[in-house]
């Protein structure tokens, strides 16, 4: 049986790109209690630039994938990622340089 605060880190690579915002929030909410106080979550997202409408599909030449604001695979604005983190007891600690084959961006989330 897993006890509280057992994990130093968790990975969500190429996972949240396939989930709508409320399922990501559920994952973050359920993960937080089993992370050590200084634990970190590494998570990748497709990011929609602030100047673009969220609803517009985005074609990612690297990896040849198109993402959507309302369908799988999803893209999110950084403010949405900050909201998901902040509303579940996390915060974005930093963006990590990460050479993902489909241009996903990696963020380190830490417990708030």
What is the rounded distance in angstroms from the CA atom of residue 88 to the CA atom of residue 76?
17
How far from each other are the two terminal CA atoms of the chain, in whole angstroms?
26
- pLDDT category at 98 given cuts 50, 70, 90 is confident
Structure confidence by residue, pLDDT tens digits, 50-80: 999 999 999 998 889 999 999 999 999 999 9
Q: φ and ψ at 82, to 5 degrees?
A: -60, -40
3-state secondary structure of 81: helix
Q: Give the contacts of 62 (CB within 8 A, at least 6 positions apart).
A: 101, 102, 103
Instruction: Inform me whether the pLDDT recorded for 92 exceeds 80.
Output: yes
Instruction: Inform me whether the pLDDT recorded for 4 exceeds 70.
Output: no
Considering the segment(s) 7-111 as one domain, its CATH architecture is: 3-Layer(aba) Sandwich (3.40)
Tell me the pairing of strands 90-96 and 105-111. antiparallel
Bridge-partner residues for 111, per DSSP?
90
Instruction: Inform me whether the pLDDT recorded for 44 exceeds 60.
Output: yes
Q: What is the DSSP letter of 26?
A: H
Across the chain, what does the average pLDDT equal? 92
């Amino acid at each position: 049986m897993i006890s509280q605060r057992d994990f130093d880190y968790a990975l969500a690579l190429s996972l949240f790109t396939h989930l709508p915002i409320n399922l990501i929030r559920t994952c973050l909410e359920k993960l937080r209690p089993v992370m050590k106080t200084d634990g970190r979550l590494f998570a990748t997202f497709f990011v929609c630039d602030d100047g673009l409408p969220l609803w517009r599909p985005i074609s990612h030449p690297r990896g040849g994938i198109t993402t959507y604001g309302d369908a799988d695979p999803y893209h999110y604005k950084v403010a949405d990622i900050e909201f998901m983190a902040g509303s579940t007891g996390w915060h974005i600690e930093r963006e990590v340089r990460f050479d993902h084959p489909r241009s996903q961006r990696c963020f380190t989330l830490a417990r708030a």
